[in-house]
A and B are shown apart, each in its own frame.
Chain A
Amino acid sequence: MQRINFISHLFMTGIISSFVTASAWANVGDNYPCLKCHQNFSKAKILNLTLPLKKEHQSLSFKHMKNEKSCLLCHSDNSPNELNMLDGKKISMSESPQLCGQCHGPIYFDWQEGIHGKLFGKGTDQKRKFICAECHDPHNPKFKKMKAEAPPTRPKLGIAKVEHEEKPMNSTTTNEKTNEVKSEKKDHHETE
């Protein structure tokens, strides 16, 4: 019994820990409570955006389409609970995958087929599909790097491979001891 709990805890921790703002997106279909603060909604306020943001928005980090400065590309200027498609159509938060799919077409297609990303569920065929924002922070979607588990123990007569002579083709060789990458390309880029 304890073991089952432990494993399921580990399972959930492993998933949740990789999502920075997971808690904010835990409930599918529920609107982000923008109206809680923005009761007197003003378009002007958004257009005159200055950084740093007000403290309620401090947790947001922006690293998505770095040259794009306008929030209104995705967010609707009518209501904070809506999103903008490129053709002007307004959609709800729970329909957000359509929005992401405008640029991320192949991934959207995969997601519709059910073959994108992590699918949870008891069985091999009973999986719940998550929407994009449930795993990817839309303002900073790229997954963070993580610490890998420990490497296997090298057998007692194991040898750490050292760099060897040139290989043909555009291949790179790895020096196991220093993790140094050496490229054989013409435009030589030494990573010392």
Chain B
Amino acid sequence: MILRSYALFWMRMIQYAAVGSVKFYLWILFLLALIIPGIAAYYYQFTHGLIVTNLSDQVSWGAYIANFTFLVGVAAGAVLLVVPAYVYHHKPTKDIVIVGELLAVAAIVMCLLFILADMGRPDRFTHVLPILGRLNFPRSVLAWDVIVLNGYLFLNLHVSGYLLFMKYLGRTPNKLIYLPIVFISIFWAASIHTVTAFLYSGLGGRPFWNTAILAPRFLISAFAGGPAILTIAFRSIKSCTKLNVEEGVFDLLKKIVAITMPINLFLLGCELFKEFYTDSTHVASAKYLYFGLHGAHMLTPYIWSAIAMDLIAMIIFVTPRLRSDNRIFIFGSVLAILGIWTEKGMGLIIPGFIPSPLGDIVEYTPSIVEFFVCLGIWSLGGLIFTLLAKVAIGVLTGDLKENSSISSQH
């Protein structure tokens, strides 16, 4: 019986997701217009090899992994809604937390797509699976990452799926089925970003990354950028959908980011002190990033812009007069997202490879193919989130109920 309802639930979800207003269709069309060139670009890369990117033996990772790193942070940021909702029973958050979890789902899917796009042999992805493959667990941190990312995906899908299905059926969810998973997902969220940081910080041959402070920096920037993204997402949802997003949610996010953004900049300052005061040969990568090295200086304008954006965002987030104005706060959020994306994505991955371990300097900027693949994956993530959120909002508002809009048989 329950299986039948569940199958019908899926059918109705798909149907519900595919129907909407004109604005909705325009938005979907816009996303598709970005996805399709992305698919074409990826096909080109798949057939010709990664030589169509600007990656090299010296710069092994570029735009794909930079975006991956940032998105793991976005996924981890969902925990900022999960904790108030489930642990502290903060009502405004409790009402909309599922949408936050679905944002994490979309972010994780994007992460996995970026990894697939970056692999030299995506056709061999089975090699990381149990039985078919040979996962180098526990020695390889990447093996840990495979497990924690997929685990987080399933945890979030389970919790949001179960709660939505129960709401759809009009039944009270059984705490035993979802609450333990929620608590696991809270710690798991911190672990996905810690493990991702460990990917970099465990490499002795890359002194730019080989710092203990990297994992804390990752988590704090996730908790500074996360609320910014959540603010923008939920402001859009509030204005475009029927979901009632109370101001309480935004107040909470404002409180969080007022603390985490200053800490983010403080930790950055700590890193800068250690690099430039010590002034050992290991400072070369930091020198490249902030000041240029041996005549190469492609990234310097970006990192300084990122720091400026972070500073302005921080000022907005802590100043009462500025943060209380929602429009200014949104502007600050946009700055924070761009700043953190630059500082944590391209501004972290690329300098790790410059100079190379043997003193070679090879720079990097995304190629056209990489640009379109990245744009395609971001848009696909946007599409996934849009559809998931649409369905979730339908269920949460009662629009999508088991017995709704069919008949008055009962």
Contact = CB atoms under 8 A, between A and B. Distances in A.
A–B contact with Cβ pairs below 8 Å: the answer is yes
Interface of A: 154-162, 164
Contacts of B56: 155-158
A157 B363 CA distance: 5
Contacts of A162: 294-295
A62 to B, nearest CB: 41
A157 B295 contact: no
Interface residues of B, number: 16
Nearest to A168: B279
B64 interface: no
B365 interface: yes
A157 B59 CA distance: 10
B17 interface: no
A153 to B, nearest CB: 11
Interface in B44-80: 54, 56-59
Contacts of A156: 54, 56
Contact of B294 (A154, A155, A157, A159): A159
B218 interface: no
B157 interface: no
Interface of B: 54, 56-59, 293-296, 359-365
29 contacts: A154-B362, A155-B56, A155-B57, A155-B362, A156-B56, A157-B56, A157-B59, A157-B362, A157-B363, A157-B365, A158-B56, A158-B58, A158-B360, A158-B361, A158-B363, A159-B294, A159-B295, A159-B296, A159-B361, A159-B362, A160-B295, A161-B294, A161-B295, A161-B359, A161-B361, A162-B294, A162-B295, A164-B293, A164-B294
Nearest to A161: B294
Contacts of B295: 159-162
Contacts of B57: 155
Nearest to A158: B362
Nearest to B287: A164
A154 B360 CA distance: 10
Dominant secondary structure at the A interface:
loop
B276 to A, nearest CB: 14
B360 A157 contact: no
Contacts of A155: 56-58, 362
Contacts of A161: 294-295, 359, 361
Contact of B54 (A154, A157, A159, A164): A157
Nearest to B58: A155
Contacts of B363: 157-159
Contacts of B359: 161
A161 B363 CA distance: 12
Nearest to A156: B54
Contacts of A159: 294-296, 361-363
A161 B359 CA distance: 9
> Which of B54, B57, B59, B294 is the most central at the interface, judged by chain A CB atoms within 10 Å of its CB?
B294
Given A159-B361, A159-B363, 7 more contacts: A155-B56, A156-B54, A157-B59, A157-B362, A161-B294, A161-B359, A161-B361
Nearest to A177: B295
Contacts of B54: 156-157
Nearest to B360: A158
The 9 A-B residue pairs with the shortest CB-CB distance in the complex, in nearest-first order: A161-B294, A162-B295, A159-B296, A155-B56, A159-B361, A157-B363, A158-B362, A155-B362, A157-B362
A161 B354 CA distance: 12
A154 B58 CA distance: 11
A161 B361 CA distance: 7
Contacts of B296: 159
A158 B174 CA distance: 59
Nearest to A176: B294
Contacts of B293: 164
A161 B293 CA distance: 8
A87 B58 CA distance: 59
Contacts of B362: 154-155, 157-159
Nearest to B295: A162
Contacts of B59: 157
A156 B57 CA distance: 12
B382 to A, nearest CB: 30
Nearest to B359: A161
A154 B56 CA distance: 10
Contacts of B361: 158-159, 161
Contacts of A157: 54, 56, 59, 362-365
A49 B208 CA distance: 68
B383 to A, nearest CB: 32
B191 to A, nearest CB: 35
> Which of A156, A157, A158, A161 is the most central at the interface, judged by chain B CB atoms within 10 Å of its CB?
A157
Contacts of B360: 158
B62 to A, nearest CB: 10
Contacts of A160: 295
B293 to A, nearest CB: 8
A158 B56 CA distance: 10
B54 to A, nearest CB: 6
